[in-house]
Amino acid sequence: MKRRTFVKGMSFTAVAVSTTGFVRFNGQHFEGDCETTTDILGPFYRPDAPVRSDLINGSLMGDEVSLHGVIYHDDCKTPLENAKIELWHCDADEVYDNESDEYNYRGTVYASSDGLYKFRTQMPVPYDAGGGNYRPAHFHIMISAPGYQSLVTQLYFSGDPWLDKDPSSKDPNAKSRIFEISKNDNGVIEVPFNVIMQKEFPLESAVLERLAGKYKETERDRTHEFFVHENKLWLKNDLYGINLEYKGDNTFVPSGSSWGSTSIYFMSDDNGRSGLTYKSGDEERKAVKIS
């Protein structure tokens, strides 16, 4: 299916990333500057992809790709064993496999004792995201490990005509995730991608702008407005607004402790409409984005 029908969560999360050459060996251990960026999750994450590193499908088109790297702890030098790495992408017909038992172009691997991981797959293509807006070709990756926020990113490729038009890929923070298409002696495209895990991350401006707007509660005539100020998400009030802190897992909480257990969870419904769930103690209210 080319249209987007598999929507289970709001299209954002945080990620720490590193590209080839980012982590260096100083003679004793690996080191890096721990650059951290973010990107959207997208609507096509499908849980429980099979554990496998080879995603090649001989019946489908696409150059072979070797995606590989090392997962590190947040000290930037210690390999992280047994981190869970999930990869998914569309095929040459712009299709994500959202339903079949084959889980085409979806797979899961676990990092070795040296933090190493590797996938063998095929190149995706740009696709129509609706309204004539095309997303550049990209891989989705999610990395999970105990003690760290689950991390998600997208990898792009230089020369794609849609890179400068897509809100995610044109963001300056995405530069470290745009790869040259370089083939080895066997004709395989090499994509070396290392990841530095972190315990919490700020969200970049492009993600926050997608959350900003007005949301109307579904069970009563009440509207809430969110806006971005100094790269933070705020909930508007009569005075100015309440600063919200990102806590991972699509969840924000008001800064400080005056609101107790209040949290705001953003998501999308099965029709792709953005919404949120407001929780405070035993109270739970839902709202849908209207502008």
Q: Is 44 a domain residue? A: yes
The secondary structure element, H or E, covering residue 196 is strand 189-196
pLDDT value for 15 = 39
pLDDT value for 217 = 93
Who has greater pLDDT, 218 or 39? 218
pLDDT value for 7 = 29
Q: Is the pLDDT of residue 6 over 60?
A: no
Please indicate, yes or no, whether residues 146 and 97 belong to a single structural domain of this protein.
yes
Please indicate, yes or no, whether residues 192 and 58 belong to a single structural domain of this protein.
yes
> For the ranges 46-50, 68-72, 75-79, 235-239, which has the lowest average pLDDT?
235-239
CATH number at residue 80: 2.60.130.10
Distances (CA, A) of 168 to 64, 103, 138, 196: 25, 25, 11, 20
Q: Is 201 a domain residue? A: no
pLDDT value for 50 = 97
Please indicate, yes or no, whether residues 21 and 123 belong to a single structural domain of this protein.
yes
Give the C-alpha separation, 146 to 150, whole Å.
9
- 138 has catalytic annotation: yes
Q: Is the pLDDT of residue 20 over 50?
A: no
Domain C-terminal end among 196, 229, 259: 196
At 244, list the tokens: 């919200």
Who has greater pLDDT, 225 or 16? 225
At 253, list the tokens: 């909480």
Residue whose C-alpha is closest to residue 133's, from 161, 96, 98: 161
| SS3 assignment, position 211 | helix
Residue in 127, 215, 246, 265 annotated catalytic: 127
Please indicate, yes or no, whether residues 248 and 190 belong to a single structural domain of this protein.
no
Domain C-terminal end among 196, 223, 245: 196
Q: Is the pLDDT of residue 27 over 80?
A: no
Mean pLDDT, residues 243-252 taken together: 78
| SS3 assignment, position 205 | helix
Residue in 73, 89, 106, 140 annotated catalytic: 140
Give the C-alpha separation, 37 to 135, whole Å.
19
Residue in 72, 73, 89, 96 annotated catalytic: 96
Q: Is the pLDDT of residue 69 over 90?
A: yes
Domain C-terminal end among 171, 196, 221: 196
pLDDT in tens, 98-127: 899 999 999 999 999 999 999 999 999 999
Q: What's the whole-number average pLDDT of the chain?
A: 80
> For the ranges 36-45, 125-134, 257-266, which has the lowest average pLDDT?
36-45
Computed from CA positions of residues 271, 272, 278, 279, in that sequence, does the dihedral angle turn out positive or negative? positive
Q: Is 147 a domain residue? A: yes
- 224 has catalytic annotation: no
pLDDT in tens, 184-209: 999 999 999 999 898 866 666 777 88
Q: How far apart are the first and last CA of the chain?
A: 28
Q: Is the pLDDT of residue 253 over 50?
A: yes
Give the C-alpha separation, 3 to 5, whole Å.
6
> For the ranges 148-157, 241-250, 251-260, which has the lowest average pLDDT?
251-260
How many domains, the chain? 2
Residue in 106, 138, 210, 224 annotated catalytic: 138
Q: Is 2 a domain residue? A: no
CB 197 within 8 A of CB 141: no
Q: Which residues, listed in sequence order, are joined to residue 69 by a DSSP beta bridge?
A: 117
Residue whose C-alpha is closest to residue 263's, from 272, 254, 255, 275: 254
Residue 238: domain span: 212-289
Give the C-alpha separation, 87 to 144, whole Å.
12
- 246 has catalytic annotation: no
Q: Which of the four pLDDT bands, split at 50, 70 and 90, describes residue 18? A: very low
